[in-house]
Amino acid sequence: MWGNKKPEPPKPAVEIPPPAVPTPMPSRPVVTEFKQEVTPMTTEMRPVTPASTSGARLGPSLHVKGEINGNEDLHVDGSIEGLISLEDRKLTVGASAKVSADIVAREIVVFGTVKGNLRARDRIEIKKDGSVIGDLTTARIMIEDGAYFKGSIEIERGDAQPGVTPEKPFARAVAATHKE
C-alpha cells in the first residue's frame, strides 16, 4: 500500500488566478459624430468683425443717397452719398466702398475712399489703402503708411475745461437729421 499512493505536488505560496477571458469586441464600430464648419479659403484680405459686435452691412452692389442714422455698428462695402450718423457706434468703410458723406460716429475705420468731413468721439483710422479727402475731428488718430489724406486734423482732448463747450463741426448737419 505504501507504494500505490503518489505524492502530491507542493502547493504554491501565492495562488495564481486563471487567465482572463477577453471580452468580445462589438460587431459594429462605435462612431462619434464630429461636425466642423468649413469656410472657403480666399486670398483677399479684408477686415473681420467679431460676431459679438457685428452690426449692419451695406453690400458692394448697394448705393444709398440720403442719410443713415442708427444705433448699431455699420460696415459699408457699397457707396453712400449724404450723411452718416452713428453717434455711439463704429463705422467701417470697406476696401471697395466709395463714400461721399459727412460722418459722425464713435469710431471710424477707413479701408476704402471717403470724401467728406469725419468726426469721431474716440478715434479715426485710415488704413494703408484708404483715402480720405476732408477734415478730421477726433480724440485719437492713426494713419498707416501708404494711406492718402488731404484735409485738416483737429485733436479733441478729453480734459476740456468745465463749463466750456467745445465747438462741434457738423452740428447743423446732425441737428438737421433729427428735425421732424
DSSP-assigned beta bridge partners for residue 136: 118, 153
Q: What is the pLDDT of residue 163?
A: 46
Residue extents of the structural domains in the chain: 55-157
Alpha helices per DSSP H over 43-134: none
Which helix (H) or strand (E) is 108 found in, with range? Answer: strand 98-110
Of the pLDDT bands very low, low, confident and very high (cuts 50, 70, 90), residue 180 is very low
Q: How confident is the model at residue 9 (pLDDT cuts 50, 70, 90)?
A: low
More confident residue, 67 or 157: 67
- Among 5-9, 22-26, 73-77, 146-150, name the one with the lowest average pLDDT: 22-26
Average pLDDT over residues 57-79: 94
What is the per-residue pLDDT across 22-60, written as a single tens digit (0 to 9) for each? 666 555 555 555 455 555 555 555 555 444 456 899 999
Torsion of CA 145, 85, 70, 124, to 10 degrees: 20
Which pLDDT score is estimated for 51?
Answer: 43
Cβ contacts of residue 35 below 8 Å, gap of 6+? none
This prediction's pTM: 0.61
